[in-house]
Structure 1
Amino acid sequence: MTERLLRHVQSAVDAAEGGIDGNINVELKQFRAVATRYDKRGYVYLGTVTAAALLIWLRS
C-alpha cells in the first residue's frame, strides 16, 4: 500500500513539474535565437534566454 501511494504521489509531482517546464520550453523555442543558439559564449546565451523569458513574462 505504501509503495502504491508513493508512486501515485511521485506521478502527480512529475506531472506538475513537466507542465511548468514544458510550457516555458515551448514558448522559448518561439524565439529563433534561443532555439538555434546563435550565441557562442555561455553568458551571452544566458542573457538571450533571460531577455526572451522577460518578454514572455511581460506578454502574460
Structure 2
Amino acid sequence: MPLRLGNPDHVCELQPIDFAAVARGFGVADWSVDDPAECGEALARSMPARRKIALTVASDTARELV
C-alpha cells in the first residue's frame, strides 16, 4: 500500500448505486423513462403531483447525443 505523508492510502470502491431506490427510501417517488426524448413529457406529468420526484433516465453513453 503506497504511503502519502506517512499515512496509508485508502481506497473505497462503491458498487453501482441505485439512486431510485435511495430516493424511495427517503419517501420520494421515482419515475423512469427509457428514452431521453421522453424527459420533457415526464417532467410535465410531474408538475401537477406537487411532490418531490426522482426521474431516472436510461441512456446509451456509447451513442453520441445531439
Q: Normalising by structure 1, what TM-score? A: 0.29
Give the structure, 1 or 2, with the largest relative contact order (CA under 8 Å, sep 6 or more): 2
Q: Normalising by structure 2, what TM-score? A: 0.27
Higher strand share: 2
Higher helix share: 1
